[in-house]
Chain A
Amino acid sequence: MSKLFVVLLDDKRVNAIKGSGLEDKIEYMFGGNLRAFTMEMPDEKANTILKEFDTARTDTRGCITDTPLAFNRTLFEEIAKAKSLGPEVVDNTMARLDEIKELAAKESDYLPAPDIPT
């Protein structure tokens, strides 16, 4: 059975996919205040993700969660690049596995802060 993967969207991410045709696939939560894509992950790709990242797990909704943040960011970059939510996006993301793992290893020490005035 395939698994799901939720990709959260903020204004910046929504702007990045403007005109791609993906706008229609945005789902709205919390009264329309939170936007996300829900991607379907074929078994084989879900298993690869679960195998490659030891923190990753499947929750009770069948969603893969707790993947490294670097994976989540890269996945979105590939979605925006391919203008697609298809399985090739996961392939493109997994093709950058070394880069993701390198960033993920640093995630416990450093995460770039959002560029907002504080």
Chain B
Amino acid sequence: MSLRMTTPPPHGGRLEERVVRDPVLAKKLAKGCPVYDIKPTLSDKGVPVRNVYREIMSICYGFFSPVEGSMKEAEVERVLNERRLLNDWIFPYPLVFDISEEDYKQLGVTAGDRVLLRLKGKPFAILDVDEVWRIKDTTELAHRVFGTPEKNPEVVQEPFNAKHPGWVIYKSLNPVVLAGKYRIINEPKFRPPFDRFWLPPLKSREEYKKRGWTTVINHQTRNVPHVGHEHLMKNAAYMGDIEPCHGIQVNAIIGVKRKGDYPDESILEGHEAVNLGNYIKPQRHLVTFTLWDMRYGNPLESMLHGIIRQNMGCTHHMFGRDHAAVGEYYDMFATQTLWDKGIPSFGFDKSVCEVEYGLHIRPQNMREFWYCPLCQEIAYSESCGHTKEKEKFSGSFIRGMVGEGIFPPRVIFRPEVYTAVVKWWKEFNFPFCNQNYVVQQEQKLEVDLPDLDV
């Protein structure tokens, strides 16, 4: 038995890299193709809730390996019924390229055709159409994606509805699906500060190697880190093989925001400030991101997070209570249950690490950190017995403090982290995402595209 862990293989055995970097070939591939301009998915209130460009990026740069493109109907059915792709590898969500009937009529394509996808008016990717199929009922699809209390009684506590952002995404899909493989033919350039944190799986694996990391634990985030998060990272990283993990990776999910979230820029630079301030030294800490309009599917989202981070080369993943959750649709321990013993109604009678065609990344299920005035330290809820005296890191309490312009004490927010928040506050005139930010961000997106004359 080897005591040492090694970098896990990509999910599905091979990292997808579906990016054409030769402009001559790119032009050749796109020549004469019908053109479709990518549009945001809008809710019935006209609010942008998703942009499929983020899925195309995450597929083509290998974050979602072994997925290669927009799913065929049979694959979507299999994902919904068994949470597996047609090649048997586990996968939580349907991913489709959906367009309206009107756009489909105008486009006039069928199986065997190639479509040039433009983003912000510039050539971006091609889609080789294998199948055209229709979503009969998006409400039904949305319910099947997330589960129901009747079908998934182990973890689903209440029916999903229009208050759940992920449910709204599936409910808002267009009826016509163009299924087929994507290839990016014109690499987008990330705007600052996103460019410094873009480390797709091939690059992250190279970076780990350069740093001499074989054991890496991932921290999922959609938040600016307070000191409770910092202690979660530090303590979870004690789990490794014969020594603590060499690296702590923060992988932020960047996509459509909800009002009240911190802006993406604050999240990334806030996490970076943790290492710039040497609270976790930069040699051990790496901040990265993945493009994805979060579905908030708690256990299902955690499966996707496991896939992304295994593809990036992580050996471990920390999971807390209410992982990637909103509301009380799922049991608060649903994610930990999936990774501990499985959720049979989702197709897993044991941990997703123990099923065939499952994951290699190891879960580190964690509880909570709080400040204990008696221990006089940030304490772990399963160690500290001073439950009456505990002082919790409440997100809404901290947001209130930030909004009021109170300089938070360093035991709650590191000054460097707070400074990063204020930097972007000055830029956007607001510390959190408001309607202006959400609308502007979905117009600007995270990228610009170079010219490519096809």
Contacts and interface: CB of A to CB of B under 8 A. Distances in A.
Instruction: Name the 8 nearest CB pairs between A and B, nearest first.
Output: A33-B409, A118-B423, A113-B425, A33-B411, A114-B405, A113-B426, A10-B406, A10-B407
Interface of A: 8-13, 29-31, 33-34, 65-66, 69, 72-73, 108-114, 116-118
Interface stretch (B244-252, B278-286, B395-403): B395-403
Nearest to B376: A31
A27 to B, nearest CB: 12
Contact of A31 (B373, B404, B419, B426): B373
Contacts of A13: 406
A112 B405 contact: yes
Contact of A109 (B410, B422, B423, B430): B430
A72 B405 CA distance: 11
Interface of B: 371, 373, 376, 391, 396, 400-401, 403-412, 419-420, 422-423, 425-426, 429-431, 434-436
A62 B435 CA distance: 31
A30 B371 contact: yes
Nearest to B436: A109
Contacts of B371: 30-31
Contacts of A30: 371, 373, 391, 409, 411-412
16 contacts: A8-B400, A11-B407, A12-B407, A13-B406, A30-B409, A31-B411, A65-B400, A66-B396, A109-B434, A109-B436, A110-B430, A113-B425, A113-B429, A114-B405, A116-B419, A118-B420
A30 to B, nearest CB: 5
A118 B405 CA distance: 14
Q: Is the interface of A mostly helix, strand, loop or mixed?
A: loop
Contacts of A72: 400, 404
A116 B422 contact: yes
A116 B400 CA distance: 18
A18 to B, nearest CB: 17
A111 B422 CA distance: 11
A114 B409 contact: no
B429 A69 contact: no
A114 B429 CA distance: 11
Contacts of A29: 373, 391
Contacts of B419: 116-118
Nearest to A8: B406
A111 B430 contact: yes
A97 B198 CA distance: 47
Nearest to A11: B407
Nearest to A72: B404
B406 to A, nearest CB: 5
A34 B405 contact: no
A118 B418 CA distance: 9
Q: Which of B376, B404, B408, B435 has the most CB of A within 10 A?
A: B404
Contacts of A33: 409-412
B441 to A, nearest CB: 15
A109 B439 CA distance: 12
Contacts of A114: 405, 407, 422, 425
Contacts of A117: 419
Q: Which of B376, B422, B431 has the most CB of A within 10 A?
A: B422
Contacts of B408: 34
Contacts of B406: 8-10, 13
